[in-house]
Amino acid sequence: MTKSQFEKAITNKEDLSPYLRFYPVKRGDFFFVPAGSIHAIGKGVTLAEVQQSSGITYRVWDWNRLEKNGQPRQLDVAKALDVLNFEENSNRSEFFRYMANSFQKTNLDFIIHPDFHVSLIKLNSDEKFNFEILENKNYAVLNLSGECDLSLNHQKTYLQKYHSLLINPGLQGPMEIHAMKETILLVVR
Instruction: Indicate whether 40 and 112 sit together in one domain.
Output: no
Per-residue pLDDT of 10-41, as tens digits, reads 889 888 888 888 888 998 999 888 888 888 88
pLDDT for the residue numbered 72:
86
The CATH number of the domain where 178 resides is what?
2.60.120.10
Res 61 pLDDT > 90: no
Nearest of 9, 187, 170, 27 to residue 109 by alpha carbon: 187
State which of 100, 125, 142 marks the end of a domain: 100
Per-residue pLDDT of 63-116, as tens digits, reads 878 889 999 888 888 999 998 998 888 877 788 888 888 888 878 889 888 888
Instruction: Indicate whether 54 and 137 sit together in one domain.
Output: no
Res 54 pLDDT > 80: no
pLDDT for the residue numbered 176:
95
CB count within 10 Å of CB 136 equals 7
Per-residue pLDDT of 126-140, as tens digits, reads 999 998 898 788 899
149-155 CB contacts, 8 Å cutoff, 24+ apart? 149/177, 149/178, 149/180, 150/175, 150/176, 150/177, 150/178, 151/175, 151/176, 151/178, 152/176
State which of 100, 128, 151 marks the end of a domain: 100
Instruction: Indicate whether 85 and 137 sit together in one domain.
Output: no
**Please, what is the average pLDDT of the chain?**
89
Nearest 5°: phi and psi at 166? Answer: -110, 135
pLDDT for the residue numbered 55:
66
